[in-house]
Structure 1
Amino acid sequence: AAAGILAREATGARLEAINFDVVELADIERPPSGLVRLTAGSDRRIAHKALTMTARATHSFGLIWIDSIAALMPEGEDGIDLPERSVLARALGLDHKPGALQPQLSPENVVIVGLRHADPAEARVLKDSRVSAFTMTDIDAMGMRDLMHEAIRIATSGTQGFHVSYSPQVTEFAGWEAGSGGITVRETHQAMEAIALSGGLLSMDVSGLTSGLQPRIAIDTVNFVMSAFGKRIL
Protein backbone atom coordinates (compact mmCIF):
# COMPACT_ATOMS: atom_id res chain seq x y z
CA ALA A 1 0.00 0.00 0.00
CA ALA A 2 2.81 2.42 0.88
CA ALA A 3 4.60 1.74 -2.41
CA GLY A 4 1.33 2.22 -4.26
CA ILE A 5 0.76 5.62 -2.65
CA LEU A 6 4.29 6.79 -3.50
CA ALA A 7 3.82 5.59 -7.08
CA ARG A 8 0.37 7.16 -7.41
CA GLU A 9 1.75 10.52 -6.34
CA ALA A 10 4.67 10.19 -8.81
CA THR A 11 7.14 10.62 -5.95
CA GLY A 12 10.11 9.38 -7.94
CA ALA A 13 9.44 11.64 -10.91
CA ARG A 14 8.92 14.62 -8.61
CA LEU A 15 12.24 13.97 -6.89
CA GLU A 16 13.94 13.72 -10.26
CA ALA A 17 12.41 17.07 -11.16
CA ILE A 18 14.37 18.65 -8.30
CA ASN A 19 17.61 17.04 -9.48
CA PHE A 20 17.71 13.77 -7.56
CA ASP A 21 18.76 10.56 -9.31
CA VAL A 22 16.18 8.07 -8.08
CA VAL A 23 17.09 4.40 -7.71
CA GLU A 24 15.22 1.49 -6.16
CA LEU A 25 17.52 -0.55 -3.96
CA ALA A 26 17.59 -4.22 -4.86
CA ASP A 27 19.10 -5.15 -1.48
CA ILE A 28 17.78 -2.81 1.19
CA GLU A 29 19.50 -4.86 3.90
CA ARG A 30 22.92 -3.72 2.66
CA PRO A 31 22.49 -0.14 1.46
CA PRO A 32 25.38 1.56 -0.34
CA SER A 33 26.74 4.72 1.25
CA GLY A 34 26.15 8.18 -0.18
CA LEU A 35 22.42 7.82 -0.79
CA VAL A 36 19.54 9.69 0.83
CA ARG A 37 17.16 6.81 1.51
CA LEU A 38 13.36 7.12 1.63
CA THR A 39 11.43 4.26 3.21
CA ALA A 40 7.66 4.01 3.70
CA GLY A 41 5.36 1.55 5.42
CA SER A 42 2.02 0.96 7.07
CA ASP A 43 3.07 1.49 10.70
CA ARG A 44 5.96 2.74 12.84
CA ARG A 45 7.82 -0.56 12.69
CA ILE A 46 9.07 0.58 9.29
CA ALA A 47 11.09 3.18 11.22
CA HIS A 48 13.18 0.48 12.90
CA LYS A 49 14.00 -1.09 9.52
CA ALA A 50 14.92 2.31 8.10
CA LEU A 51 17.05 3.22 11.13
CA THR A 52 18.83 -0.12 10.89
CA MET A 53 19.74 0.62 7.26
CA THR A 54 21.06 4.04 8.22
CA ALA A 55 23.13 2.53 11.05
CA ARG A 56 24.72 0.15 8.53
CA ALA A 57 25.64 3.01 6.20
CA THR A 58 27.13 5.50 8.68
CA HIS A 59 29.16 5.48 11.88
CA SER A 60 27.10 8.14 13.71
CA PHE A 61 23.75 9.79 13.08
CA GLY A 62 20.99 11.64 14.86
CA LEU A 63 17.24 11.19 14.70
CA ILE A 64 14.41 13.71 14.40
CA TRP A 65 11.25 11.79 15.32
CA ILE A 66 8.26 13.88 14.17
CA ASP A 67 5.34 12.05 15.74
CA SER A 68 2.54 12.36 18.26
CA ILE A 69 3.97 9.50 20.34
CA ALA A 70 7.48 8.74 21.57
CA ALA A 71 7.33 4.97 20.84
CA LEU A 72 9.29 4.37 24.07
CA MET A 73 6.73 2.10 25.72
CA PRO A 74 8.41 -0.63 27.83
CA GLU A 75 7.85 -4.10 26.39
CA GLY A 76 6.58 -7.15 28.23
CA GLU A 77 9.12 -9.80 29.19
CA ASP A 78 7.82 -12.43 26.75
CA GLY A 79 7.06 -10.21 23.79
CA ILE A 80 8.52 -11.52 20.53
CA ASP A 81 7.30 -9.18 17.82
CA LEU A 82 8.27 -5.52 18.04
CA PRO A 83 5.23 -3.49 19.21
CA GLU A 84 4.62 -0.29 17.26
CA ARG A 85 4.69 1.79 20.46
CA SER A 86 8.12 0.39 21.40
CA VAL A 87 10.03 1.06 18.18
CA LEU A 88 12.24 3.83 19.53
CA ALA A 89 12.88 1.96 22.77
CA ARG A 90 14.17 -0.97 20.71
CA ALA A 91 16.38 1.22 18.50
CA LEU A 92 17.96 2.87 21.55
CA GLY A 93 18.48 -0.40 23.40
CA LEU A 94 16.19 0.61 26.25
CA ASP A 95 14.37 -2.75 26.18
CA HIS A 96 17.66 -4.74 26.35
CA LYS A 97 16.66 -6.85 23.34
CA PRO A 98 18.36 -7.46 19.98
CA GLY A 99 17.87 -4.60 17.55
CA ALA A 100 19.65 -1.77 19.36
CA LEU A 101 21.53 0.59 17.06
CA GLN A 102 24.35 1.67 19.35
CA PRO A 103 26.93 3.11 19.03
CA GLN A 104 25.74 4.70 15.77
CA LEU A 105 22.60 6.22 17.34
CA SER A 106 22.93 7.87 20.75
CA PRO A 107 19.95 9.09 22.83
CA GLU A 108 21.65 12.49 23.13
CA ASN A 109 21.16 12.94 19.38
CA VAL A 110 17.49 11.94 19.33
CA VAL A 111 14.77 14.61 19.26
CA ILE A 112 11.01 14.04 19.37
CA VAL A 113 8.94 16.81 17.77
CA GLY A 114 5.18 17.14 18.24
CA LEU A 115 4.70 14.82 21.22
CA ARG A 116 1.16 14.89 22.57
CA HIS A 117 0.52 11.40 23.97
CA ALA A 118 2.63 9.60 26.60
CA ASP A 119 1.66 6.77 28.92
CA PRO A 120 2.96 7.31 32.50
CA ALA A 121 5.37 4.38 32.13
CA GLU A 122 6.56 5.75 28.80
CA ALA A 123 7.01 9.23 30.28
CA ARG A 124 9.29 7.78 32.96
CA VAL A 125 11.40 6.05 30.30
CA LEU A 126 11.61 9.28 28.33
CA LYS A 127 12.76 11.30 31.33
CA ASP A 128 15.54 8.79 32.07
CA SER A 129 16.60 8.25 28.45
CA ARG A 130 18.49 11.50 27.64
CA VAL A 131 16.23 11.87 24.58
CA SER A 132 15.06 15.44 23.92
CA ALA A 133 11.32 15.90 23.48
CA PHE A 134 9.37 18.92 22.27
CA THR A 135 5.67 18.70 23.06
CA MET A 136 2.83 20.66 21.51
CA THR A 137 3.19 23.11 24.39
CA ASP A 138 6.82 23.70 23.43
CA ILE A 139 5.86 24.28 19.81
CA ASP A 140 3.22 26.81 20.84
CA ALA A 141 5.78 28.63 23.02
CA MET A 142 8.81 28.55 20.68
CA GLY A 143 7.31 28.43 17.22
CA MET A 144 8.21 25.70 14.75
CA ARG A 145 11.07 27.57 13.08
CA ASP A 146 13.11 28.14 16.26
CA LEU A 147 12.23 24.72 17.61
CA MET A 148 13.50 22.99 14.47
CA HIS A 149 16.75 24.93 14.59
CA GLU A 150 17.30 23.50 18.08
CA ALA A 151 16.19 20.01 17.03
CA ILE A 152 18.64 20.00 14.12
CA ARG A 153 21.43 21.26 16.38
CA ILE A 154 20.86 18.35 18.75
CA ALA A 155 20.61 15.76 15.97
CA THR A 156 23.79 16.95 14.23
CA SER A 157 25.99 17.44 17.31
CA GLY A 158 28.95 15.13 16.69
CA THR A 159 27.16 13.13 13.98
CA GLN A 160 27.39 12.75 10.20
CA GLY A 161 23.79 13.89 9.80
CA PHE A 162 20.36 12.68 10.80
CA HIS A 163 17.42 10.44 9.95
CA VAL A 164 13.87 11.81 9.94
CA SER A 165 10.92 9.67 10.95
CA TYR A 166 7.48 11.12 10.18
CA SER A 167 4.01 9.88 11.08
CA PRO A 168 0.95 11.66 9.61
CA GLN A 169 -0.71 11.33 13.02
CA VAL A 170 1.44 14.22 14.27
CA THR A 171 -0.34 16.58 11.84
CA GLU A 172 -3.85 17.96 12.29
CA PHE A 173 -5.72 17.47 9.04
CA ALA A 174 -9.23 18.88 8.84
CA GLY A 175 -11.79 16.27 9.83
CA TRP A 176 -9.23 13.56 10.67
CA GLU A 177 -9.52 12.39 14.27
CA ALA A 178 -6.11 10.66 14.39
CA GLY A 179 -4.31 13.99 14.05
CA SER A 180 -6.58 16.04 16.29
CA GLY A 181 -4.63 18.53 18.40
CA GLY A 182 -1.45 18.12 16.37
CA ILE A 183 0.76 20.52 14.47
CA THR A 184 -0.75 22.31 11.51
CA VAL A 185 -0.11 21.46 7.87
CA ARG A 186 1.88 24.68 7.53
CA GLU A 187 3.95 23.87 10.64
CA THR A 188 4.69 20.45 9.18
CA HIS A 189 5.96 22.06 6.00
CA GLN A 190 8.05 24.46 8.11
CA ALA A 191 9.67 21.52 9.87
CA MET A 192 10.44 19.79 6.59
CA GLU A 193 11.76 22.98 4.98
CA ALA A 194 14.15 23.47 7.92
CA ILE A 195 15.37 19.90 7.44
CA ALA A 196 16.06 20.53 3.76
CA LEU A 197 17.88 23.81 4.43
CA SER A 198 20.11 22.17 7.05
CA GLY A 199 21.70 19.86 4.49
CA GLY A 200 21.96 17.14 7.14
CA LEU A 201 19.31 14.69 5.93
CA LEU A 202 20.75 11.17 5.55
CA SER A 203 17.53 9.19 5.32
CA MET A 204 13.81 9.40 6.00
CA ASP A 205 10.93 7.07 6.74
CA VAL A 206 7.19 7.71 6.60
CA SER A 207 4.77 5.47 8.47
CA GLY A 208 1.00 5.17 8.33
CA LEU A 209 0.70 4.81 4.55
CA THR A 210 -2.11 2.25 4.40
CA SER A 211 -4.77 1.44 1.83
CA GLY A 212 -7.34 3.04 4.14
CA LEU A 213 -5.54 6.39 4.39
CA GLN A 214 -7.63 9.20 2.96
CA PRO A 215 -6.23 10.27 -0.45
CA ARG A 216 -6.01 13.94 0.57
CA ILE A 217 -3.87 13.03 3.58
CA ALA A 218 -1.64 10.80 1.45
CA ILE A 219 -1.18 13.67 -1.00
CA ASP A 220 -0.19 16.08 1.77
CA THR A 221 2.16 13.50 3.28
CA VAL A 222 4.02 13.10 0.00
CA ASN A 223 4.15 16.90 -0.25
CA PHE A 224 5.84 16.96 3.18
CA VAL A 225 8.42 14.48 1.90
CA MET A 226 9.07 16.72 -1.07
CA SER A 227 9.63 19.68 1.26
CA ALA A 228 12.13 17.66 3.30
CA PHE A 229 14.03 16.83 0.12
CA GLY A 230 14.22 20.49 -0.86
CA LYS A 231 11.28 21.30 -3.13
CA ARG A 232 10.61 25.03 -3.21
CA ILE A 233 7.87 27.23 -4.65
CA LEU A 234 10.42 29.24 -6.67
Structure 2
Amino acid sequence: MTVKHCKLIGVPVQEGAGRLGCEMGPSSLRTAGLAAAITGLGHRLSDLGNLSAPPASQVHHPNPALKNLPEISAWVSLLSQAAYDASAEGMPIFMGGDHSIAAGTVAGIARRAAEAGRPLFMLWLDAHPDFHSLESTVSGNIHGTPVAYLTGQAGFGGGLPPLQATVDPKRVAMLGIRSVDPAERLALAHCGVSVFDMRAIDEHGIAPLLSRFLDRVAAEGGLLHVSLDVDFLDPSIAPAVGTTVQGGATFREAHLVMEMLHDSALVSSLDIVELNPFLDERGRTATLLVGLVASLLGRRVMDRPTWSF
Protein backbone atom coordinates (compact mmCIF):
# COMPACT_ATOMS: atom_id res chain seq x y z
CA MET A 1 0.00 0.00 0.00
CA THR A 2 1.29 3.44 -0.94
CA VAL A 3 1.71 5.70 2.08
CA LYS A 4 -0.12 8.99 1.59
CA HIS A 5 0.28 12.33 3.29
CA CYS A 6 -3.32 13.15 4.20
CA LYS A 7 -4.21 16.74 5.04
CA LEU A 8 -7.37 17.35 7.03
CA ILE A 9 -8.98 20.72 6.38
CA GLY A 10 -12.15 21.66 8.24
CA VAL A 11 -14.66 23.78 6.36
CA PRO A 12 -17.47 24.79 8.76
CA VAL A 13 -19.91 26.11 6.16
CA GLN A 14 -23.67 25.78 6.55
CA GLU A 15 -24.91 28.83 4.65
CA GLY A 16 -25.34 26.83 1.43
CA ALA A 17 -27.80 24.36 2.97
CA GLY A 18 -31.43 24.67 3.91
CA ARG A 19 -30.96 24.07 7.64
CA LEU A 20 -28.38 24.69 10.32
CA GLY A 21 -25.91 22.14 11.68
CA CYS A 22 -23.36 21.31 8.98
CA GLU A 23 -20.82 23.70 10.45
CA MET A 24 -20.33 21.10 13.21
CA GLY A 25 -19.32 18.43 10.68
CA PRO A 26 -15.53 18.82 11.00
CA SER A 27 -15.64 18.50 14.79
CA SER A 28 -17.88 15.44 14.55
CA LEU A 29 -15.50 13.68 12.15
CA ARG A 30 -12.55 14.43 14.40
CA THR A 31 -14.44 13.18 17.45
CA ALA A 32 -15.37 9.99 15.59
CA GLY A 33 -11.68 9.20 15.18
CA LEU A 34 -10.85 10.17 11.61
CA ALA A 35 -7.23 11.04 12.40
CA ALA A 36 -6.62 7.78 14.26
CA ALA A 37 -8.19 5.78 11.43
CA ILE A 38 -5.82 7.38 8.93
CA THR A 39 -2.64 7.05 10.96
CA GLY A 40 -3.62 3.54 12.02
CA LEU A 41 -3.33 2.51 8.39
CA GLY A 42 0.23 3.84 8.25
CA HIS A 43 -0.44 7.10 6.45
CA ARG A 44 1.06 10.45 7.38
CA LEU A 45 -1.38 13.03 8.68
CA SER A 46 -1.45 16.79 9.02
CA ASP A 47 -4.54 18.33 10.58
CA LEU A 48 -4.55 21.89 9.29
CA GLY A 49 -7.47 22.90 11.50
CA ASN A 50 -10.61 24.70 10.38
CA LEU A 51 -10.71 27.54 7.91
CA SER A 52 -12.18 30.75 9.32
CA ALA A 53 -15.16 32.39 7.66
CA PRO A 54 -14.05 35.19 5.32
CA PRO A 55 -15.79 38.57 5.04
CA ALA A 56 -18.81 38.39 2.75
CA SER A 57 -18.23 39.32 -0.89
CA GLN A 58 -19.94 42.29 -2.50
CA VAL A 59 -21.97 40.33 -5.05
CA HIS A 60 -25.54 40.54 -6.25
CA HIS A 61 -27.74 38.36 -8.44
CA PRO A 62 -31.23 38.97 -9.84
CA ASN A 63 -32.64 35.67 -8.53
CA PRO A 64 -34.45 36.74 -5.34
CA ALA A 65 -34.58 33.16 -4.04
CA LEU A 66 -30.81 32.93 -3.51
CA LYS A 67 -29.73 32.59 0.10
CA ASN A 68 -26.41 33.77 1.52
CA LEU A 69 -24.78 34.34 -1.87
CA PRO A 70 -22.24 36.92 -0.58
CA GLU A 71 -21.11 34.52 2.15
CA ILE A 72 -20.84 31.51 -0.16
CA SER A 73 -19.03 33.50 -2.85
CA ALA A 74 -16.42 34.51 -0.27
CA TRP A 75 -16.05 30.91 0.90
CA VAL A 76 -15.57 29.72 -2.69
CA SER A 77 -12.72 32.19 -3.21
CA LEU A 78 -11.06 31.21 0.06
CA LEU A 79 -11.48 27.48 -0.54
CA SER A 80 -10.21 27.63 -4.09
CA GLN A 81 -6.90 29.03 -2.90
CA ALA A 82 -6.73 26.70 0.10
CA ALA A 83 -7.36 23.65 -2.09
CA TYR A 84 -4.82 24.79 -4.64
CA ASP A 85 -2.19 25.22 -1.93
CA ALA A 86 -2.98 21.95 -0.15
CA SER A 87 -2.90 19.91 -3.36
CA ALA A 88 0.70 20.84 -4.13
CA GLU A 89 1.74 17.78 -2.11
CA GLY A 90 -0.28 15.07 -0.43
CA MET A 91 -3.98 14.26 -0.40
CA PRO A 92 -6.27 16.99 0.94
CA ILE A 93 -9.41 15.81 2.73
CA PHE A 94 -11.97 18.58 3.09
CA MET A 95 -14.36 18.08 5.98
CA GLY A 96 -17.59 19.99 5.44
CA GLY A 97 -19.74 21.73 5.81
CA ASP A 98 -22.49 21.60 3.21
CA HIS A 99 -21.91 20.63 -0.42
CA SER A 100 -21.43 24.22 -1.55
CA ILE A 101 -17.82 23.81 -0.38
CA ALA A 102 -17.12 21.71 -3.49
CA ALA A 103 -17.48 24.84 -5.62
CA GLY A 104 -14.28 26.03 -3.98
CA THR A 105 -12.39 22.81 -3.29
CA VAL A 106 -12.75 21.44 -6.81
CA ALA A 107 -12.02 24.84 -8.35
CA GLY A 108 -8.64 24.87 -6.62
CA ILE A 109 -7.91 21.24 -7.49
CA ALA A 110 -8.86 21.90 -11.13
CA ARG A 111 -6.43 24.80 -11.29
CA ARG A 112 -3.66 22.60 -9.89
CA ALA A 113 -4.47 19.80 -12.37
CA ALA A 114 -4.49 22.20 -15.32
CA GLU A 115 -1.08 23.58 -14.38
CA ALA A 116 0.25 20.02 -14.10
CA GLY A 117 -1.18 19.11 -17.50
CA ARG A 118 -3.35 16.36 -15.99
CA PRO A 119 -7.06 15.88 -16.73
CA LEU A 120 -9.24 16.14 -13.62
CA PHE A 121 -12.08 13.66 -13.15
CA MET A 122 -14.75 13.99 -10.49
CA LEU A 123 -16.84 11.27 -8.83
CA TRP A 124 -19.99 12.76 -7.30
CA LEU A 125 -21.48 10.45 -4.66
CA ASP A 126 -24.83 12.02 -3.88
CA ALA A 127 -28.59 11.60 -3.97
CA HIS A 128 -28.77 14.86 -5.94
CA PRO A 129 -26.89 16.03 -9.05
CA ASP A 130 -26.42 19.58 -7.69
CA PHE A 131 -26.72 20.84 -11.25
CA HIS A 132 -28.76 24.00 -10.77
CA SER A 133 -27.43 27.37 -11.82
CA LEU A 134 -27.92 30.50 -9.75
CA GLU A 135 -30.69 31.34 -12.21
CA SER A 136 -32.54 28.03 -12.13
CA THR A 137 -32.56 27.26 -8.40
CA VAL A 138 -35.97 27.68 -6.81
CA SER A 139 -34.97 26.79 -3.26
CA GLY A 140 -32.10 29.28 -3.36
CA ASN A 141 -29.84 26.83 -1.52
CA ILE A 142 -26.44 27.12 -3.19
CA HIS A 143 -25.36 23.61 -2.17
CA GLY A 144 -27.49 22.54 -5.15
CA THR A 145 -25.29 24.31 -7.73
CA PRO A 146 -21.60 23.26 -7.54
CA VAL A 147 -21.42 20.71 -10.37
CA ALA A 148 -23.02 23.09 -12.86
CA TYR A 149 -20.64 25.83 -11.73
CA LEU A 150 -17.52 23.67 -11.87
CA THR A 151 -18.30 22.37 -15.35
CA GLY A 152 -18.69 25.88 -16.73
CA GLN A 153 -22.44 25.96 -17.26
CA ALA A 154 -24.19 29.28 -17.84
CA GLY A 155 -26.04 31.16 -15.13
CA PHE A 156 -23.28 32.06 -12.64
CA GLY A 157 -22.07 35.41 -13.95
CA GLY A 158 -21.64 38.01 -11.25
CA GLY A 159 -22.47 35.56 -8.47
CA LEU A 160 -19.63 33.10 -7.88
CA PRO A 161 -15.97 33.84 -8.70
CA PRO A 162 -14.77 33.24 -12.28
CA LEU A 163 -13.08 29.86 -12.65
CA GLN A 164 -9.43 29.61 -13.64
CA ALA A 165 -10.03 26.03 -14.81
CA THR A 166 -13.24 24.09 -15.34
CA VAL A 167 -13.95 20.36 -15.14
CA ASP A 168 -14.93 18.75 -18.43
CA PRO A 169 -18.49 17.45 -17.85
CA LYS A 170 -17.55 14.30 -19.78
CA ARG A 171 -15.09 13.59 -16.96
CA VAL A 172 -17.77 13.72 -14.25
CA ALA A 173 -19.63 10.65 -13.00
CA MET A 174 -22.54 10.82 -10.57
CA LEU A 175 -23.35 7.73 -8.55
CA GLY A 176 -26.41 7.14 -6.37
CA ILE A 177 -28.64 9.83 -7.89
CA ARG A 178 -32.33 9.59 -6.99
CA SER A 179 -33.71 13.12 -6.61
CA VAL A 180 -33.48 15.42 -9.64
CA ASP A 181 -35.36 18.67 -10.21
CA PRO A 182 -36.86 19.34 -13.67
CA ALA A 183 -34.38 22.12 -14.49
CA GLU A 184 -31.48 19.85 -13.55
CA ARG A 185 -32.85 17.00 -15.65
CA LEU A 186 -33.05 19.29 -18.66
CA ALA A 187 -29.54 20.66 -18.13
CA LEU A 188 -28.04 17.20 -17.66
CA ALA A 189 -29.66 15.75 -20.78
CA HIS A 190 -27.03 16.97 -23.23
CA CYS A 191 -24.02 18.09 -21.18
CA GLY A 192 -22.05 14.83 -21.15
CA VAL A 193 -22.08 14.05 -17.41
CA SER A 194 -22.42 10.31 -16.68
CA VAL A 195 -25.40 9.89 -14.35
CA PHE A 196 -25.81 6.52 -12.65
CA ASP A 197 -29.00 6.61 -10.64
CA MET A 198 -30.11 4.04 -8.10
CA ARG A 199 -32.07 2.12 -10.73
CA ALA A 200 -28.86 1.64 -12.73
CA ILE A 201 -27.18 0.39 -9.56
CA ASP A 202 -30.11 -1.96 -8.88
CA GLU A 203 -30.01 -3.36 -12.42
CA HIS A 204 -26.27 -3.60 -13.05
CA GLY A 205 -24.62 -3.47 -9.65
CA ILE A 206 -22.42 -0.68 -8.41
CA ALA A 207 -19.08 -2.31 -9.27
CA PRO A 208 -19.38 -2.44 -13.10
CA LEU A 209 -20.58 1.17 -13.28
CA LEU A 210 -17.71 2.46 -11.17
CA SER A 211 -15.16 0.20 -12.84
CA ARG A 212 -15.88 1.66 -16.29
CA PHE A 213 -15.40 5.18 -14.97
CA LEU A 214 -12.15 4.31 -13.20
CA ASP A 215 -10.85 2.67 -16.37
CA ARG A 216 -11.37 5.99 -18.17
CA VAL A 217 -9.52 7.93 -15.47
CA ALA A 218 -6.59 5.52 -15.66
CA ALA A 219 -6.53 5.51 -19.47
CA GLU A 220 -6.19 9.30 -19.58
CA GLY A 221 -3.68 9.51 -16.74
CA GLY A 222 -6.13 11.63 -14.79
CA LEU A 223 -6.42 12.88 -11.25
CA LEU A 224 -9.61 11.93 -9.41
CA HIS A 225 -11.49 14.07 -6.92
CA VAL A 226 -14.19 12.29 -4.89
CA SER A 227 -17.03 14.29 -3.37
CA LEU A 228 -18.96 12.24 -0.81
CA ASP A 229 -22.31 13.57 0.38
CA VAL A 230 -23.90 11.85 3.38
CA ASP A 231 -27.16 11.52 1.45
CA PHE A 232 -25.45 9.17 -1.02
CA LEU A 233 -26.10 6.67 1.77
CA ASP A 234 -29.50 5.34 2.71
CA PRO A 235 -30.89 7.32 5.67
CA SER A 236 -31.47 4.08 7.58
CA ILE A 237 -27.69 3.84 8.07
CA ALA A 238 -26.78 7.54 7.84
CA PRO A 239 -29.49 9.74 9.37
CA ALA A 240 -27.31 12.82 10.00
CA VAL A 241 -28.19 14.81 6.90
CA GLY A 242 -30.79 17.46 6.21
CA THR A 243 -31.65 16.19 2.71
CA THR A 244 -32.64 12.57 3.27
CA VAL A 245 -33.88 10.55 0.29
CA GLN A 246 -34.94 6.95 0.76
CA GLY A 247 -33.33 4.18 -1.28
CA GLY A 248 -29.68 5.17 -1.06
CA ALA A 249 -26.49 3.15 -1.06
CA THR A 250 -26.24 0.34 1.46
CA PHE A 251 -23.38 -0.14 3.90
CA ARG A 252 -21.67 -2.70 1.68
CA GLU A 253 -22.29 -0.78 -1.57
CA ALA A 254 -20.67 2.29 -0.05
CA HIS A 255 -17.69 0.36 1.27
CA LEU A 256 -17.27 -1.43 -2.05
CA VAL A 257 -17.04 1.94 -3.79
CA MET A 258 -14.32 3.02 -1.38
CA GLU A 259 -12.45 -0.27 -1.64
CA MET A 260 -12.48 -0.04 -5.44
CA LEU A 261 -11.27 3.55 -5.27
CA HIS A 262 -8.39 2.45 -3.06
CA ASP A 263 -7.50 -0.40 -5.40
CA SER A 264 -7.44 2.02 -8.33
CA ALA A 265 -4.82 4.26 -6.65
CA LEU A 266 -6.34 7.19 -8.55
CA VAL A 267 -7.89 9.37 -5.82
CA SER A 268 -6.00 12.59 -5.22
CA SER A 269 -8.48 14.57 -3.08
CA LEU A 270 -11.71 14.10 -1.14
CA ASP A 271 -14.71 16.05 0.14
CA ILE A 272 -16.86 14.76 3.01
CA VAL A 273 -19.98 16.91 3.12
CA GLU A 274 -23.45 17.47 4.56
CA LEU A 275 -22.77 15.74 7.88
CA ASN A 276 -25.16 17.37 10.35
CA PRO A 277 -24.33 16.04 13.84
CA PHE A 278 -27.48 17.65 15.25
CA LEU A 279 -29.46 15.02 13.31
CA ASP A 280 -27.24 12.05 14.15
CA GLU A 281 -27.93 9.14 16.50
CA ARG A 282 -25.06 8.68 18.97
CA GLY A 283 -22.53 9.51 16.27
CA ARG A 284 -23.41 6.58 14.02
CA THR A 285 -23.21 8.59 10.77
CA ALA A 286 -19.88 10.17 11.65
CA THR A 287 -18.54 6.74 12.62
CA LEU A 288 -19.72 5.29 9.32
CA LEU A 289 -18.03 8.09 7.38
CA VAL A 290 -14.76 7.49 9.21
CA GLY A 291 -15.02 3.82 8.24
CA LEU A 292 -15.61 4.75 4.60
CA VAL A 293 -12.55 6.98 4.54
CA ALA A 294 -10.57 4.12 6.07
CA SER A 295 -11.73 1.83 3.25
CA LEU A 296 -10.68 4.46 0.73
CA LEU A 297 -7.24 4.53 2.33
CA GLY A 298 -6.70 0.78 2.47
CA ARG A 299 -8.63 -0.87 5.29
CA ARG A 300 -9.61 -4.34 4.12
CA VAL A 301 -13.01 -5.91 4.59
CA MET A 302 -11.67 -8.40 7.14
CA ASP A 303 -10.04 -5.67 9.23
CA ARG A 304 -13.22 -3.96 10.38
CA PRO A 305 -13.52 -3.18 14.09
CA THR A 306 -16.49 -4.38 16.10
CA TRP A 307 -18.48 -1.39 17.36
CA SER A 308 -20.68 -1.27 20.42
CA PHE A 309 -23.38 1.41 20.57
TM-score, with length taken from structure 1: 0.89
CA 1:94–1:156: 2 relative to 1, 3 Å: farther
1:70 alignment partner, one of 129, 132, 139: 129
1:54 alignment partner, one of 95, 109, 123: 109
In the aligned structure 1, how far is the partner of 2:184 from the partner of 2:101?
Answer: 20
- Percent identical: 24
1:152 alignment partner, one of 180, 197, 214: 214
- Residue equivalent to 1:8: 31
CA 1:67–1:154: 2 relative to 1, 3 Å: farther
After TM superposition, list the pairs within 5 Å mapping 1:86-97 onto structure 2: 86-97=145-156
Q: Contact conserved, 1:33 with 1:58, CA < 8 A, in 2?
A: no
Gapped regions of structure 1 (runs ≥ 5): none
Q: Does 1:211 align with 2:286?
A: no
Q: Does 1:230 align with 2:294?
A: no
In the aligned structure 2, how far is the partner of 1:155 from the partner of 1:100?
Answer: 26
- Residue equivalent to 1:137: 199
CA RMSD across the alignment: 2.5
Q: Contact conserved, 2:135 with 2:155, CA < 8 A, in 1?
A: no
1:111 alignment partner, one of 173, 182, 204: 173
CA 1:32–1:185: 2 relative to 1, 3 Å: closer
In the aligned structure 1, how far is the partner of 2:164 from the partner of 2:124?
Answer: 17
CA 1:82–1:174: 2 relative to 1, 3 Å: closer
Could you say what secondary structure the match of 2:29 adopts? helix
Structure with the larger RCO, 1 or 2 (CA within 8 Å, 6+ apart)? 1
2:47 alignment partner, one of 11, 24, 31: 24
Q: Contact conserved, 2:113 with 2:223, CA < 8 A, in 1?
A: no
CA 1:78–1:136: 2 relative to 1, 3 Å: closer
Q: Contact conserved, 1:71 with 1:86, CA < 8 A, in 2?
A: yes
2:95 alignment partner, one of 40, 43, 46: 40
Q: Contact conserved, 2:37 with 2:290, CA < 8 A, in 1?
A: no
CA 1:183–1:211: 2 relative to 1, 3 Å: closer
CA 1:221–1:77: 2 relative to 1, 3 Å: closer
Gapped regions of structure 2 (runs ≥ 5): 1-23, 50-80, 304-309
In the aligned structure 2, how far is the partner of 1:213 from the partner of 1:178?
Answer: 11
Deviating 4+ runs (over 6 angstroms): none
TM-score, with length taken from structure 2: 0.69
Larger Rg: 2
Q: Contact conserved, 1:69 with 1:117, CA < 8 A, in 2?
A: yes
CA 1:78–1:146: 2 relative to 1, 3 Å: closer
CA 1:88–1:133: 2 relative to 1, 3 Å: same
In the aligned structure 1, how far is the partner of 2:136 from the partner of 2:260?
Answer: 40
Q: Which amino acid aligns with 1:58?
A: A
- Residue equivalent to 2:246: 180
In the aligned structure 2, how far is the partner of 1:115 from the partner of 1:102?
Answer: 28
Q: After alignment, is 10-19 or 169-178 more displaced?
A: 169-178
Q: Contact conserved, 2:87 with 2:109, CA < 8 A, in 1?
A: no
Paired residues in the alignment total 233
The one-character-per-residue Cα deviations of 1:43-101 (angstroms, maximum 9, x if unpaired) are 1112222212312332221000010110001322899x971111111111113535465
In the aligned structure 2, how far is the partner of 1:110 from the partner of 1:189?
Answer: 20
Q: Does 1:190 align with 2:190?
A: no
Q: Which amino acid aligns with 1:222?
A: V
The Cα of 1:31 is off from its aligned counterpart by: 2.1
